[in-house]
């Protein structure tokens, strides 16, 4: 457990769960039934696992595929260059897609993924992010579905890491101090 670290909780497990259910209901009301959910790894895996189960409760039996993207830079700041580390398993031509990411910051990662899917023939690409840091946007992209809007703090937990740590925390928080 990461309990020896000093982390301020921004969103607790119950609050996240309620928000995920609300997003799933909004998606179910607006998106086609034959939805393909494309999960951008790694950071979105916990959010996506909860969201697809919430979608099922809301009546959407979504298909799921994964793509691993990397944008190189320092530990807490992404660079401009996005690369595909592991690609999707299936073609997306003709599929309405819901693209899931953990955090929308500059927007480069999500814009890259959206453009890639449109380029491969997806007729509709909607976007869903757990967290939106809109003050940091550089690419012209706004998410269709958002969990929470946050400021510039670097956050961890619920799938989000700092140097590969803290992904398993049940809440989203800001690190005050890290014990090795
Ligand atoms: P963008 O391309 O929008 O600038 O980058 C978004 C990506 O940067 C996210 O998918 C995430 O991997 C990473 N990122 C941005 N802010 C944070 C943060 O506060 N915490 C963590 N763990 N990752 C972040
Ligand atoms: Mg990411």
In a domain, 15, yes or no: no
Any domain includes 174: no
The radius of gyration of the chain from alpha carbons, rounded to an integer in Å, stands at: 16
Confidence band of 19 (pLDDT split at 50, 70, 90):
very high
Is residue 19 in some structural domain? no
CA–CA separation, 114 and 82 (whole Å): 12
Ligand 1 contacts (CB < 6 A) are 43, 71, 78, 101-109, 154-156, 160-162
In a domain, 24, yes or no: no
Q: Facing residues of 125 across strands?
A: 97
Residues with CB under 5 A from ligand 2 (ion): 43
pLDDT tens per residue, range 39-84? 999 999 999 999 999 999 999 999 999 999 998 765 566 667 899 9
In a domain, 14, yes or no: no
At residue 26, the pLDDT reads 98
Instruction: Tell whether 160 is covered by a domain.
Output: no
% of the chain at pLDDT higher than 90: 83
Contact in structure between 59 and 27 (CB atoms under 8 Å): no
Range of the domain at 66: 31-153
* The total number of structural domains that make up the chain: 1
Q: Which ligand minimizes its atom distance to the CA of 133?
A: 1
CATH number of 93's domain: 3.40.50.2020
Does residue 128 fall inside a structural domain? yes
Q: CB within 8 A of 151, min separation 6: which ones?
A: 133, 135
Is 5 a member of any domain? Answer: no
Q: What is the pTM of this model?
A: 0.93
Residue 8, C-beta contacts closer than 8 angstroms, at least 6 positions apart? 173, 174, 176
Pick the more confident residue, 169 or 76.
Answer: 169
Residue-wise pLDDT for 125-157, tens only, equals 999 999 999 888 888 999 999 999 999 999 999
Nearest CA owner, ligand 1 atom 14 = 103
In three-state secondary structure terms, 43 is coil
């Amino acid at each position: 457990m990461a309990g020896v670290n000093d982390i301020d909780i921004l969103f607790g497990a119950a609050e996240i769960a309620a928000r995920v259910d609300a997003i799933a209901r909004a998606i179910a009301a607006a998106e086609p039934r034959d939805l393909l959910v494309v999960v951008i790894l790694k950071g979105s895996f916990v959010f996506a696992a909860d969201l697809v189960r919430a979608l099922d409760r809301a009546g959407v039996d979504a298909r799921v595929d994964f793509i691993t993207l990397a944008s190189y830079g320092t530990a807490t700041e992404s660079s401009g260059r996005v690369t595909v580390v592991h690609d999707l398993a299936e073609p997306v031509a003709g599929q309405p897609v819901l693209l899931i990411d953990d955090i929308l910051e500059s927007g480069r990662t999500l814009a890259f993924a959206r453009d890639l899917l449109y380029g491969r023939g997806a007729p509709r690409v909607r976007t869903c992010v757990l967290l939106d840091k809109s003050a940091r946007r550089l690419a012209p992209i706004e998410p269709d579905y958002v969990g929470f809007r946050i400021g510039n703090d670097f956050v961890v937990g619920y799938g989000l890491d700092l140097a590969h740590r803290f992904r398993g925390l049940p809440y989203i928080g800001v690190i005050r101090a890290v014990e090795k």
